Amino acid sequence: MSHQPTVIKLKQIPEVLAKEFADRDVVTCYIGSNAATPTACLDAVTAAVKSGTPRLPFLRMVHLLLQGPVSYVEKGIQDRIMTYSIFSTGDVRKAANEGRAFYLPCTLANLESLIGKGRPYQPDVAIFKVRPHEITGEFSLGLSVEAMHTAIDHAKCVIAELDFSMPFTQGQSIVDAQSIDYLVDDDDVKGVYDFPAPDFANLPGAEQRIGELVARHFIRDGVTLQVGIGQIPDAVVGVIKEARPKDLGIQTELYGDGLMILQKAGIVTNRRKKLHRGYSATSLIMGSMELYEYVHMRAGIQMRPCMETNSAEVIRRNSPFVSINTAMGVDLFGNVWADYIDARRYYSGVGGQPDFVGALNDSAYGVPIIAFKSMTDKGQSKIVKVHPSGVSLTASAYDGIVIVTEYGIADLRGLTAGEKALAIASIAHPRFRDRYLKEIYDDALFTKPLGFSLDKTPRGVIFYAGDTKLES
């Protein structure tokens, strides 16, 4: 008879850990992430850590972005349980900035280097959500595959939280019962996290402009897309829907409502992809309940580990490829950063942006676009002279990227350092643009093209030429 997992309640999780690791001082736990964060399991572990009963070893909690409240980052228990976060928001971000959580920089394509066999964070425990198949008895990781198979393969103790609110997704999300040691079946399990769908018809002017620029100049029939999450990627999707290009493909780390809309509309067919032809490939799904209902049992959307969705080889094989991500800012040399605001303020993580930038460094494969509004809500320019000292970069001056703001496009591919500076400054907010251009023009460090003057459009620049008005 094949192995079946032991069914337990939430309150039994600490007892399982205490029993399985009675002889250990330190245990590494890998936690399922994003919309499928197993919050109830994490709360049960935290309660035991705080009470001291049963006695648990020191717990290292390794994970990507966790949604909802993260109870174990509260003050005063870091001598017993500690976060090692590869991507953060909310409670974990605050804890990291206050010295109560570790930020563990790593791109999604390289997670194996952290948690694989014999690696620094090889898991002893894996905790995650699953949805069972009513007929086959198989389990699905649902909304979050990322690096879960690696964690499951190497963990001594595998704990799966049963959650029928999660869709059963296709592809490499399937987990057989023999891989699960303990199945948490409890009425107090919290359902998956869902978020309102964007209002694609009423996007702000700046985001709408960026969407128009990207769609008009880079989206062609048959391209494969990777699109991040947020208002700017949403705007790109909204404009693509109106333009109606044909036979787009999707190869992405995160699939959201916007990509669903394109697939529902028949704009995304995946027919022209060379790899994973016929279906959208993603590692994570996050968005509205409508999205979750759409992906449930749908063969046209299939899950893959992020080591595959973000693999340079896979990305290049699906050329022509367009990658659209955003960032905190860019400097005049073409350096881009996304995980820190400055060296003293941590924000999120590098995610998969460097994976796609690196894979598309050769323009023969496609274009990596970094799109953002030119100015923060506080009136500070997101284009600066030099990147903040001490921050890590998601793209650097030697990467062949395209910058897009609401004022235009700066295609940096093949430009000299001086030409890059002029191009980037040209699409800065008007409040800063003229000063930047004059300083570059007067600075001998930035060698200018022969015969260049400030009344000429720099090489690589395309200014916005539509009619979308900006808010005053």
What is the Cα 109 distance to its own chain's centre?
A: 11
Task: Enter the tokens of residue 159.
Answer: 């704990």
SS3 435: helix
Q: Write down the residue that tokens 């897009």 correspond to.
A: 404
Radius of gyration of the chain (CA): 23
The single residue of 161, 207, 253, 419 carrying the catalytic annotation is: 253
Residue 354 preceded by cis peptide, ω within 30: no
Please give the order of strands across the beta sheet that includes 301-303. Answer: 170-171, 301-303, 280-282
Strand-pair partners of 34: 66
Torsion angles phi and psi, residue 165, rounded to 5 = -80, -10
Cα-based torsion angle of the residue sequence 79, 108, 195, 213 in order, rounded to the nearest 10 degrees: 140
CA dist., res. 238 & res. 126, Å (int)? 38
Of residues 470, 445, 441, the one with CA closest to residue 458: 441
Q: Write down the residue that tokens 């036979």 correspond to.
A: 247
According to DSSP, the β-strands at 139-140 and 174-175 are: antiparallel
* Residue 211, C-beta contacts closer than 8 angstroms, at least 6 positions apart: 203, 232, 234, 235, 236, 237, 238, 239, 240
Of residues 216, 230, 211, 241, the one with CA closest to residue 405: 211
CA dist., res. 248 & res. 266, Å (int)? 9
Is 419 labeled as catalytic in the residue annotation? no
CA dist., res. 177 & res. 342, Å (int)? 45
**What are the catalytic residues?**
253
